[in-house]
Amino acid sequence: MTTSTYTVTGMTCSHCVASVSEEVGAIEGVTAVAVDLPTGAVTVSSDRPVDDAQVRAAVEEAGYTLAG
């Protein structure tokens, strides 16, 4: 199992959290997504390494920006 943490900017409410969780959770291999709204931290657990570009694309699809 692999765990990675990213910082997402632009989230302001629980709907934002749900949108990011849904899009990132749809990436093949992702088993869990935990979002901390105050810090913007998104922790992604997966059964294999996930490409950062896939996470970035999913976050952007949800309407937000991956920092860094």
The 10s digit of each residue's pLDDT in 11-61 is 999 999 999 999 999 999 999 999 999 999 999 999 999 999 999 999 999
Number of H helices, E strands in the chain: 2, 4
What distance in Å separates the CA atoms of residue 28 and residue 37, rounded to the nearest whole number?
24
Q: How confident is the model at residue 68 (pLDDT cuts 50, 70, 90)?
A: confident
Report pTM.
0.94
Whether domain 2-66 has CATH 3.30.70.100: yes
